[in-house]
Amino acid sequence: MRKKVFLITGAAGEIGHALIDSLSGQGPNQIVTLDLQPLPESMNSRVHHVVGDILDKDLLSRLVSEYEIDTIFHLAALLSTRSEFKPEAAHHVNVEGTLSLLQLAAEQSEWRGEPVKFIFPSSIAAYGLPDPETKINYAQVREWEWNYPRTMYGCNKLYCEHLGIYFSRHYRQLAADRPVMLDFRCVRFPGLISAFTVPSGGTSDYGPEMLHSAAKGEAYECFVREDVCIPFMAMPDAVKALLWLTQAPRDSLSRLVYNVTSYSLTAAEFRTRVLGHFPDADICFSPDLKRQAIVDSWPAGLDDSAARRDWSWLPEYDVDRSFNEYLVPNIRQRYQK
């Protein structure tokens, strides 16, 4: 008999680390992880890690022949800044990689007669606000508003959301028999901040970069203007959102794509918070107009009332608790000499 497992792609990344920590203590399912990168030694005893590419179809077939995949957390992706430098590569990984995994999940759902849950992290990059006035007027954007991304990454995310909905609701709609369809669920995350990993390749990275640089005693030049505002969330809440959405009863979900958020801060407010804890921090603003324009197109806040209503979503870390209890103490410890 094949072993029932959770599959986490992109497990060596920021969310992957935190998700493995939370999932490995829970439930009978084993965890299989897949990433181009190895995992740190300390994690290898908790999961079966495969170093490989989500675009490698032979590798995916081997995984399916060995395991009964119950839930997929599909985290592997090229993030927003990297995707802008290599848009074709972003399409391959972000879209074709997701399509391969959706096909795998669709086949597994049919084979076992039970939907495979497919959990997908989308992003505020799926939004594209045209100008500053609109950003002010739509302070809390709802899921169906302003879906006009201006980055390759945002286009990839929005399209993959639609692919997931298609595979969940309409897959093989002209076939004689209705297949057992997979169960796609998606959260649109704001910028995430982890105390334990340093981000790379994202366009919301200036927030966490300010903090990590301050703790290391290094100067930091922020690449956006002081007044730029976007929503953020502490990593434990991001993992909680993924797990709560996974566990929610299917019939309580009125949507397949949900905004989740915690707090919004301008870059200046972020700096003030960092200075409150690291008074010697040397943070200045030196906007990169091109990256700035991308952040300007992202909403200042998200309306996550659907998630709150349907699956009782509630962040545990507001801005004070994020900084005082999670980020600052753990980041201080991380860089303590």
Binding residue for ligand NAD, selected from 39, 43, 79, 158, defined by CB under 6 A? 79
Nearest alpha carbon to residue 75 among 119, 36, 105, 114: 119
Binding residue for ligand NAD, selected from 149, 164, 202, 236, defined by CB under 6 A? 202
Give the nearest distance from C-beta 12 to ligand NAD in angstroms.
4
**Is there a contact between 322 and 263 (Cβ–Cβ < 8 Å)?**
yes
Q: Does the CA dihedral 321-325-329-331 come out positive or negative? A: negative
Give the nearest distance from C-beta 299 to ligand NAD in angstroms.
13
Q: Residue 273: phi, psi to the nearest 5?
A: -60, -45
Residue type, 145: E
Nearest alpha carbon to residue 150 among 301, 290, 303, 302: 290
| Binding flag, residue 207, ligand NAD (CB under 6 A) | no
| Binding flag, residue 262, ligand NAD (CB under 6 A) | no
Binding residue for ligand NAD, selected from 3, 26, 27, 36, defined by CB under 6 A? 36
Half-sphere exposure at residue 71, Cβ-oriented, CA atoms within 13 angstroms: 17
Residue nearest ligand NAD, Cβ-based: 13
| Binding flag, residue 204, ligand NAD (CB under 6 A) | yes
Residues 92-121 that bind ligand NAD (CB under 6 A): 93, 97, 121
Give the nearest distance from C-beta 179 to ligand NAD in angstroms.
26
**Is there a contact between 261 and 231 (Cβ–Cβ < 8 Å)?**
yes
**Is there a contact between 241 and 260 (Cβ–Cβ < 8 Å)?**
yes
- Other C-beta atoms within 10 Å of 139: how many? 13
SS (H, E, C) 55-69: CCHHHHHHHHHHEEE
Q: Of 32 and 110, which CB lies nearer to ligand NAD in the complex structure?
A: 32
Q: Of 20 and 129, which CB lies nearer to ligand NAD in the complex structure?
A: 20
**Is there a contact between 233 and 164 (Cβ–Cβ < 8 Å)?**
no
| Binding flag, residue 55, ligand NAD (CB under 6 A) | yes
Give the nearest distance from C-beta 34 to ligand NAD in angstroms.
6
Q: Residue 221: phi, psi to the nearest 5?
A: -105, 115
Looking at the annotation, which residues are catalytic? 153
| Binding flag, residue 53, ligand NAD (CB under 6 A) | yes
Q: Of 110 and 262, which CB lies nearer to ligand NAD in the complex structure?
A: 262
Chain residues in the site for ligand NAD (CB under 6 A): 9-10, 12-16, 34-37, 53-55, 75-77, 79, 93, 97, 121, 123, 189, 191-192, 199, 201-202, 204
